[in-house]
A and B are shown apart, each in its own frame.
Chain A
Amino acid sequence: MSDSPIIVCRDVHKWYGHFHALRGINMEVQKGEVVVIFGPSGSGKSTFIRTINRLEEHQRGQIIVDGIELTRDIRNIEAIRREVGMVFQQFNLFPHLTVLQNITLAPIQVRKWPKEKAEALAMQLLDRVGIPEQAHKYPGQLSGGQQQRVAIARALAMQPKIMLFDEPTSALDPEMIKEVLDVMVELARSGMTMLVVTHEMGFARAVADRMYFFDKGQIVESGTPDEIFNNPKEDRTKLFLSQILSH
């Protein structure tokens, strides 16, 4: 285990046309850390997390993931994507493939694993997320919570070093949020490096090592959950927390 951080972001900027979406983000994430990013909508938190596996391109600054700098070079991008798993708000499962095929596709095609090995790992992962009996169904036959758990299993099947979660529970019905958060908590406790964009403050309090509050494309404040919840320094953080925690 090296001491150098697994993700380094230095002065990351991004524009959409004239809109300055990210205004100089600096962040370092150590191996095994769980980072929660929160903030009002339009604050750039989703955009930022998507620059880490280059679903969004940054236009200035430096992003280094697992020792590889993200540049235009497609080989670097693909190398990083192999090591970084991502879970989306809308699940984005492949509707024409069964749950098992969703999970084994990337290991077979990208890692060139034999089918049997990929399927064995897939069944193990489905067991871990609690739905081994759904392996041969199609995503459309599952509930939202089950779909998101399949999506987590699919990302884990590539045995990534880092997992990115982009508002993983925002599209779920309330009664299904817990089953997804339980899986994420278990994953966090197992030592996975995680970046999570979420407003689930209970989750943050339970497992986050650091929290970052984003507003208007900048990091307004960061700290441990204890510092953020009990002793926020910035007025904007206080206001936002009071708004989302008031009920």
Chain B
Amino acid sequence: MINIEFNGQIQSHGTPLNIEQLLAFHQQALEGIAVVLNGNIVTRSEWANTLLNDHAKVRVFRAIAGG
């Protein structure tokens, strides 16, 4: 069992998962988002390759267009 913080909420997971799987678990809309893992942006091409460790902190930022 590992605990992963997603946008400030801690969730337990029974199996290891990568960023892509975490986003799917939380039903996160994927359009226009930047994913931050432990304070560092993970580029989209690396989402599927980035396995999340216990106590990982993931945060999602959405592009805003207004001006």
Does chain A bind chain B? no
